Structure 1
Amino acid sequence: MVNLWAMQEEKHMERVTKMKEDVKDLICSEMPRVEKLEQIDAVQRLGLGYHFEEEIKNALRAITNGTTNRSWAFDGDLHATALRFRLLRQNGFTVEQGVFERFMTEDASGFQESLREDVKGLLSLYEASFYGFTGEAIMDEARTFSSACLENLKGDGVWSKRIDHALDMPVHWRPNRLEARWFMDMYEEDRLDRSNPVLLDLAKLDFNIVQSVYRDEVSKLARWWVNLGLNKMDFCRDRLMEHYLWNALMVYEPQFGVFREMSTKVTCMITLMDDVYDIFGTWEELQLLTTFIERWDISEIDKLPPTIRTCFLAMYNTTNEIGYWTVKDRGFNIIPYLHRLWVNQGKSWLEEAKWYHEGYKPSLKEYLNASVTSIGGHVVLFCSYFATSDKLSKETLEYLCSIPNVMYCSSLILRLTNDLSTSSAELARGDNFKSLQCYMNETGASEEATRHHLKRLVREAWKQMNEDALGHNPCSGSGSRRFLGACLNLARASQLFYQYGDGHGIPDRETKDNLRSILIQPVSIRVAATASS
């Protein structure tokens, strides 16, 4: 049986290698510009973009053809113009919002009414609008106009699934693995795209191969978690599978298993310690625990109560294990930087505990100053840099420890989406005020108005993060590309987990479905290989 499986795996890999060459030829081949854009979009939405990064960059570079972004456009073709805009920004090219001016009224007050029936163009405009930067008024108008038009076109024949999918969440906010799973079905079902059977077959095979990598990784992590014994502590949330999924969505490429292993362990420690501070420890115990985190010394650890001592030791040993790997594999001692971030975590957790024990109600600004750190995104994003980059330097790590804007915005989205979905449940279990209650208490605003305000903050954070991750960034370059992608993907995973409720604290049907899709259920593949076209 083992030998038969090995033979099947070898056969799959041979087939994949051949199809990858076919897809490379497809991307590099001569074809009309609109068709080339649609093929590139399909490659990326099917989850195959990481195989063809250079080919896609070169193809997009050729499409721009050396002309200015403002002057180069598809006259009168909203779909092509919007798709080009999205793909260029998505892949790090400079493109101005002015390419849409030709589709606006003469006084530039809005988009032309004649566009309301262009379903394909509206969908492309809607998806492009989420790649806007701070202060880009045309992109804001594009989002308002296209979303209103698409709402009126719901249920419109062959486009209904795509409209519903886009309005539920735009492609820019969706994690790549889940979008790939959905898009495979769409690509196979309809004939709206210029479908390529080789591309579809490769996407399915690749998805299943990556899924098998994930299953091996999560099995090893499950043994680690059980051996720690922390799954038996009844006060803390046992969410290993959810933590792994979160990190697999952040850095999904199969070659970065080291990141998923280390970051899943770190995420487990964040949730564990968050529960210690929120619902388990007394005020005096939490002050002592914070002192131990600051000192990073276990010589007098018996001063901590037994359960908290076990939790701190788990965090301490996990951090040192990560540090050992980094020294051994990268020749760089990462522990001082991780320790600094853990100290920031401890201080923010203690600040929130102080508010609770004193009955203090912070303003939204006070709350976010602590809670954007306490939710743990900074530590996880820091891991995404040193675990995926082969060029570590003191200067870059110092820069990351200062929490640049791109890290802050990603963590802010995590914090706000969490609060918008979990506030009631967490207050009921004895947790602190969240951003919703802080703003309502501070301003007297209704819950509906507060939710509107917080969602606006999420949108503004996305705009700033777009500019930092997709435009010019001090941390840009080949060594930081995965890190910047992880910043975007942390926000995407956050919105996925909290879209319909607390998909992390109380895993809902959607979270379980996502776990099955990404980690358990393979994609159905035809037995016979499709001949390449």
Structure 2
Amino acid sequence: MAEVLKNLGISTSSSLGVEDGCMPNANARRNGNHHPNLWSDDFIQSLNSQYGDALYHEHREILINEVHNIFSNKEEEFSLLQRLWFVDVVQCLGIDGYFQEKIKMTLDYTYKSWNQNIIGDLNMTALGFRMLRLNRYDVSPDVFQKFKGEKGQFFDFGPSQEYTKLVSMLNLYRASELDFPEEMILKEARDFTSTYLQEVVKEHEEIKENKNPLLMEIEYILKYPSRCRIPRLETWNFIQIFKQQNRNDWLVNDIYKIPNTYRQKLLEVAILDFNILQAQHQYELKLISTWWKHSSAIHLDFFRHRHVEFYFWWVCSLFEPEFSASRIGFTKLATSLSLLDDIYDTYGTIDELKPFTKALIRWDASIIGNLPDYMKIAFEFSYQIHKEITSEAETKHGPFVHKYIQNCWESFILSYLQEAEWIASNYTPKFDQYIINGTTSSGMRVLMMHSLILMNTPLSDKILEELDFPSSKFQSLVSLITRLVDDIEDFEDEKARGETASSIECYMKDNQGSTKEDALNYITTRIDSCVQELNKEFLKPSNIPTCCRKLYFNAGMRGVFFLFKDSDGITHSHHKDILDAIMKVLVKPILE
């Protein structure tokens, strides 16, 4: 550490913003007053999962083969509804990757039946629609018209038992979350079923323990809509629900008629697979913690130290073992961007930021010679990460990827400078002007592009061009969602720090007489529209590799919505929901 600082010409006792140093003229700077890192290296290094042992991997393979034998050798025993149940369950349990052939056979058969219009009651129709659309089959929601009454209610022609109706309403609600633009029937279905399900939850709110597993699932689905249901946390939650289902045979036996022994075998696979993957993730987290402990930036105390939270964000969506390099690279880059964000937004002065920007764009260390020590540390920290990622990406794909790295980096840094100039001059831009710059300063283009090129997936120049600005609908939608969601949650904090350029302030300036509530309503409508567009983009047929589309959909959209669900979960990562989620996904194995 001392050698790194010495090579930069930085005194280890007087660096600006360093914990053991003093900053001259401190009143000239603003500070976000962020809470410190919550995860000590000692705690991270103490994580020691037994599930990394090869014996557990071997046992998982045995269990997977047993499930294959059950659902292949006895194919004729299962109805279409039971087959759809299987597809739904293995996807919710996060083990669908082991049963792709079986899933495809079931969905192909369902799609054929769908086109012949022989799908049955509301429950099967809703489940079939969701499974087909979620797996990119071309299906129309118009099929739900026959279940709609004159007063906008939805009803089932099937059995009249209350719990059967409840399952149908739950499946219809979940199907409605996969809506595309202009699909009003799904909006109507969501409005109706959400009201119905909320009333059911309210009726049972006095039940605190030993809840019916169906009620547990409804509460989870309502609390975490599809747009913020990150895969690893969804798997954790569904395993808990599935455990309860296996203890309440009547639910699955009466509706789906799946033997308990079959369900138990699926549960065993899911728990073991989750714990094995968690062991891999803990190993990576230890590497990241060691890297952070020995990094120069750890001594800068004015910015958010959130390496564990960043890793959690990405691992929740990109959890497969083969994407380790992408997860680790993302975490390092996001930590660097967090440092730069706090420098441009609060800590740096405009006179410092202009040459600093030039140095970052060119990666020219000679420019920073007269800049404060904290900027020298930030430059070197960011540059080392840039070199590491660029070298690995060029090894994987070839030198052509460098232009994508440089283009997105340059536009990102310039967008930061633009916002800093607005802050320095107390200027509130036009809404459209702000959005154009804000989608870039969201950082999602940089984060996504670097993550993509670190994945073990062949990516041609043509594919990367399709995924990058300005041609990428994925990228533009994810960037806009991130900017708008971030503005909603950070508006008050940023306003208190003197930052007037946000989508809310800009909207109110453009629309004289409008209130904050008006601005929020408009922005929320824009966000909802973006979600529908991203649903369509993700679920339509495409030549873009599935893992790349999943990265945008799960990490880029769902991850953002989860982290910003009730507050800015990165800035305020000490909130209980974020802490609990990290413990579930990264720290505690699931007990059988």
TM-score (norm 2): 0.82
Query: Which of residues 243, 259, 264 is equivalent to 1:188?
Result: 243
State whether structure 2 residue 131 is matched by structure 1 residue 87.
yes
Q: How far apart are the structure 2 equivalents of 1:53 and 1:461?
A: 30
Q: Which runs of 4+ in 1 moved over 4 A?
A: 5-8, 113-117
1:311 aligns with 2:378: yes
CA distance in 2, matches of 1:465, 1:372: 15
Hey, what does 1:461 align to over in structure 2? Answer: 530
Greater RCO, 1 or 2 (C-alpha within 8 Å, sep 6+): 2
Q: What is the match of residue 68 of structure 2?
A: 24
Amino acid aligned to 1:288: P
How far apart, in 2, do the equivalents of 1:7 and 1:242 lie?
A: 23
Which shows bigger deviation, 457-466 or 421-430? Answer: 421-430
Q: 2:424 aligns with which of 346, 354, 357?
A: 357
Would you say 1:410 and 2:410 are equivalent positions? Answer: no
Is residue 489–residue 568 contact of structure 2 (8 Å, CA) maintained in 1? yes
Kindly indicate whether the alpha-carbon contact (under 8 Å) linking 2:57 and 2:276 is maintained by their aligned counterparts in 1: no
Larger Rg: 2
1:491 partner amino acid: M
User: 1:429-488: CA deviations, max 9, x gaps?
Assistant: 344432233323333333333333222222111110111111134xx34xx211110111
Deviations 1:92-120 (A, max 9, x none): 211111121211246xx734467996221
Q: Give the counterpart of 1:33 among 80, 98, 104.
A: 80
Q: Does structure 2 retain, via aligned residues, the 8 Å contact 1:236–1:275?
A: yes
The residue number in structure 2 matching 1:211 is: 278
Tell me if 1:420 matches 2:488.
yes
The answer to whether residue 119 in structure 2 is matched with residue 74 in structure 1 is: yes
Is 1:12 aligned to 2:12, yes or no? no
Q: Tell me which residue corresponds to 1:170.
A: 225
Q: Quick one: which of 196, 201, 214 aligns to 1:154?
A: 201
Tell me whether 1:335 sits opposite 2:402 in the alignment.
yes
* Bigger shift: residues 265-274 or 25-34: 25-34
Aligned partner of residue 252 in structure 1, secondary structure: coil
- Distance change (3 Å), C-alpha of 1:416 and 1:300: closer
Equivalent residue for 2:453?
386
Distance 1:12 1:113, change over 3 A: closer
Report how far residue 262 of structure 1 moved: 0.8
* 1:63 aligns to 2:131 (yes or no): no
Residue of 174, 177, 182 corresponding to 1:130: 177
Seen in structure 2, the aligned counterparts of structure 1 residues 22 and 430 have a Cα distance that, compared at 3 Å, is farther
Q: Does 1:485 align with 2:550?
A: yes
Which among 86, 94, 100 is matched to residue 47 of structure 1? 94
Of the candidates 135, 141, 152, which is equivalent to residue 110 of structure 1?
Answer: 152
The code of the aligned residue for 1:482 comes to C
What does residue 530 of structure 1 align with? none
Q: Distance in 1 between matches of 2:70 and 2:515?
A: 54
Give the Cα–Cα distance (whole angstroms) in 2 for the partners of residues 78 and 43 of structure 1: 22
- Aligned equivalent of 2:354, options 270, 287, 304: 287
Aligned to 2:13: none
Q: For residue 506 of structure 1, what is the aligned residue in structure 2?
A: 572
Structure 1 residues without counterparts, runs of 5 or longer = 526-533
Equivalent position amino acid for 2:152 in 1: G
Partner of 2:41: none
1:290 CA displacement:
1.9
Q: Tell me by how many angstroms 1:396 deviates.
A: 2.1
Q: Using the alignment, how far apart are the partners of 2:190 and 2:196 within structure 1?
A: 10
Partner of 1:440: 508
Identity %: 29
Q: Which stretch of the first structure deviates more once superposed, 381-390 or 319-328?
A: 381-390
Q: Scaled by the length of structure 1, what TM-score is found?
A: 0.90
Q: Using the TM superposition, give the Cα deviation of residue 151 of structure 1 relative to its aligned residue in structure 2, in angstroms.
A: 2.1
Q: CA RMSD in A?
A: 2.3
State how far apart, in whole Å, the 2-side matches of 1:7 and 1:369 are.
47
Q: 1:245 aligns with which of 292, 299, 312?
A: 312
Q: Alpha-carbon deviation of 1:518?
A: 0.7
Task: Using the TM superposition, name which of 222-231 and 265-274 deviates more.
Answer: 222-231
Note if contact 2:87-2:103 (Cα within 8 Å) is conserved in structure 1.
yes
* Corresponding letter in the other structure for 1:96: S
Residues 351 and 27 from structure 1, CA distance in 2 versus in 1: closer, same or farther, beyond 3 angstroms? farther
How far off its partner does 1:349 sit? 0.8
Q: Distance in 2 between matches of 1:90 and 1:101?
A: 20
User: Which segment is superposed worse, 433-442 or 251-260?
Assistant: 433-442
Matches of 2:507 and 2:219, distance apart in 1 = 32
Deviation at 1:384, TM superposition (A): 3.2
SS of equivalent to 2:537: helix
Tell whether 2:472 aligns with 1:401: no
1:110 is aligned with what amino acid?
Answer: G
User: 1-side partners of 2:450 and 2:118: how far apart?
Assistant: 40
1:406-433 deviation per Cα after TM superposition (whole angstroms, max 9, x unaligned): 1221222222222222221233234443
**Range with bigger deviation, 158-167 or 488-497:** 158-167
